[in-house]
Structure 1
């Protein structure tokens, strides 16, 4: 680790491609409760977007298939205040929605019972504005849709911020499937999460047939060249680089197939139908099926980290942001392991270096399982949990350890999980009670002793 908008809501029908596969069981997020609505479960988003770089205007139509989790008389979504709502219809009839701040509240003409669906189509346009988060980390202090002076644009949003460019239930426990079409002027290219479906004219199409959490969605628009590659078992890989980045970074991203093969040997099959890397102007993210990295972060070690997230964070997602450690601890551990196998430093050196700073990180940002809400993504949720995983590995031995991690991902792919479900599963799977060890590493204000 943002003029003119129209919304159209129509009758309840199934979205393309069996939207029940996007079914989730949303819960209120305890860390960032202002975002997300646990009363609804969005099954599918169909986004049809148009970006005008010269004017920095985004025009969109968002079609949402929504399942009521409980009886509802309104649909409340997260939606950026910088975007203007033009029209809302429900079941083909126009209604008057409210758009206070970054919320969109749509009244229903008649209540929708729990388990029933309603299909919402949203038309909008405007100049998106990012959200200022007040976070300690500079690269998470501003999130969501941003654009540069040359008209290029990118949207990264962890832990929230997808609402700056489309109406969304912006919380990790509500995953959905996506179809995204983005029209840009000639000479520009649009990259999104999911698998590239091709270009027709100046419209780029992307599809996610596996569920996606809103924080790992992606939109980036620039003068990209596309390069094709193949990963393990023929998985299609695309790389999207700007001309100025090509000579330096194409050799780096070309290491992706080897990185995926290395990860598969330890974690089992890559969990999605495609992979990729896109170079953007800022930061880096494990955006689903299309890793996003700025040039400053584009090294093989970081590619390995973000690809490990495809298993930990994307395929299996934390139910709430309290368990961010489930993403970062696993990815950090496999980054260290990759680096140790492909560089001069040994894994023990990475572990020792992390242990040397872990105590100060806990003092600064809190224990990994109870970090301060304005300290999202500080290294306390990376280092301590990675050290914890190594302690589990020492008790299980290499063979059982990697077999256990493979089983965790393969048995829980496409779901959201939390600490309680992980600990219960781990104890049952291994026949060893790791509860005290995990609680110590996640909750202690100081670094636990090692065995």
Structure 2
């Protein structure tokens, strides 16, 4: 039976049983659940109000219409979730947009706004362990974050010919109500309606499109769960390459305003790079693949949006470029590390960025650009007070996790581990990690325990030195005497490729 049918059947049972259950509870006060509000945050020390407590989302069904001429978005979100405690009320994350109507299990529900929190009070308490459905209709001009230090935009970006959604650690709440944290992954079905002549991309599989009365609706769906910040919406005019690769749909969309010589070469290697990464980390974890390249000057970062990474046009050189290919390898490696295996809390970010960057080094060596050893030594030789070393990549509770060292000391930690345990054990650790926590969440303690189990070594002191230490650990893989590390232009490439916020 299809998952959605199962959820609908379960919900029908819950709704049908509610009056009897309520009457029975009224007759037996000892059976009445102690309904209480869900927490306003999921518990992340770095971002206390991100996500929400008291429920687990199973599926988002989103239906949005966007008019670029006015920047107006009209949305309808149907959210199927399970209460993890007896709920008297719960929060959803929603930034800026106006709520027009809201129901829970088909009954009108109360709601208030508290900053980015949409606080929902259902007509009846929601029993723990049972599914419920939230229906929200909303509209407005989606919110764009601008960072004052640099010309940087994130979340919902209004482009010359449409819009683009991308942002880390959060972006989803800028265009739909959501439990906005990686701990609560869910599947998605998305219908996007845009003026005829524009294309609209999202995650997963394209199910089809239809045009009526000057508007075109595109239907997308994921079959594997997605962390909300990895959802995307890309509206504009695109040059599309759609094909099947190993039985999965691949869609590569490049802004139609760009010459084919700019980004097509590198994103055109998506299948080839994915195949190589599969030899290292095991089967590709998702139902679809591809890329989105947008020509939007304020977009100064690439992001591993699930199944379809987003790249800024400004990151690509004209013509074939090994450095550009390495960028693509980094974002594709995130499909295993960050997307499939996601962090529990954001302080674990090195598990995303360190792993993806080390995979990019491996691809670079495989492709004949530069060796892993050279990249390691280039970074190792930087001063310990540089931002490539300090602060360490694994910070204390509440610290800002988005530090440069997650992209430098993160992959260096993995290379040092490889030097310590040997290739056979190291790559067994990486494959086991990708398999054991596939489509789930994990943290540094999980990785240390796995590495110790596979290698048969005690590794606590090793990881402490590389991830939290204030001094440089000994170099486990120095270049031979007289051999210089590669030129510093690779450091420039590192910074360009991994700009975030």
Taking structure 2 as the reference length, the TM-score comes to 0.80
1:194-218: per-residue Cα shift (whole Å, max 9, x none)? 2222212211111111110011111
Q: How does 1:147-162 map to 2 (within 5 A)?
A: 147-148=158-159, 150-162=160-172
Distance change in 2, residues 1:408/1:332 (3 Å): same
What RMSD in Å do the two structures reach over aligned CA positions?
2.3
CA contact (8 A) 1:130 1:161 kept: no
Aligned to 1:285: 303
Equivalences for residues 50-199 of structure 1 within 5 A: 50-81=65-96, 83-131=97-145, 138=150, 142-148=153-159, 150-199=160-209
- Greater share of residues in strand: 1
CA deviation after TM superposition for structure 1 residue 399, in Å: 2.3
2:49 maps to what in 1?
34
Say if 2:384 and 2:390, in contact at 8 Å, map to a contact too.
no
Q: Could you tell me which residue of structure 1 aligns to residue 492 of structure 2?
A: none
State the Cα distance separating 1:449 from its structure 2 match: 2.2
Shift, 1:179, TM fit = 0.5
Structure 2: state its 5+ residue gaps. 9-40, 317-323, 477-501
Per the alignment, in what secondary structure is the counterpart of residue 184 of structure 2? Answer: coil
Whether the 8 Å contact between 2:183 and 2:343 is mirrored in structure 1 is yes
CA drift at 1:219: 0.8
Residues 42, 66 of structure 1: 8 Å contact kept: yes
User: In structure 1, how many angstroms separate the alpha carbons of the residues matched to 2:5 and 2:105?
Assistant: 21
Q: Rg larger in 1 or in 2? A: 2
**How big is each residue's C-alpha offset from its partner over 1:313-340, in whole Å with a ceiling of 9 and x where there is no partner?**
0110001101000000000111112112
Runs of 4+ with >4 A deviation: 17-20, 361-365, 371-376
Query: In structure 2, how many angstroms separate the alpha carbons of the residues matched to 1:19 and 1:330?
Result: 36
Counterpart-to-counterpart distance in 2, 1:156 and 1:122: 22
Assess if the C-alpha contact under 8 Å between 1:15 and 1:65 holds in 2: no
> Partners in 2 of 1:428 and 1:112 — Cα distance?
42
Partners of 2:396 and 2:209 lie apart in 1 by 43
In structure 1, C-alpha distance between the alignment counterparts of 2:339 and 2:382, rounded to whole Å: 28
In 1, are the aligned partners of 2:340 and 2:439 still within 8 Å (CA)?
yes
- Residues 225 and 332 of structure 1, relative CA distance in 2, 3 Å threshold: same
Equivalences for residues 23-422 of structure 1 within 5 A: 27-81=42-96, 83-131=97-145, 138=150, 142-148=153-159, 150-201=160-211, 202-231=216-245, 233-248=246-261, 249-280=263-294, 281=296, 282=299, 283-298=301-316, 299-357=324-382, 359-361=384-386, 366-370=391-395, 375-422=400-447
CA gap 1:372/1:75 in 2 versus in 1, 3 angstroms? closer
Task: Work out the number of aligned pairs and report it.
Answer: 427
Alpha-carbon distance, 1:158 to partner: 0.7
Give the secondary structure class of the aligned counterpart of 1:251: helix
Question: Does the CA-based 8 Å contact 1:97-1:106 persist in structure 2?
Answer: yes
Runs of 5+ consecutive residues of structure 1 not aligned to the other structure: 1-13, 21-25
Residues 132/168 of structure 1: CA separation in 2 closer, same or farther (3 Å cut): farther
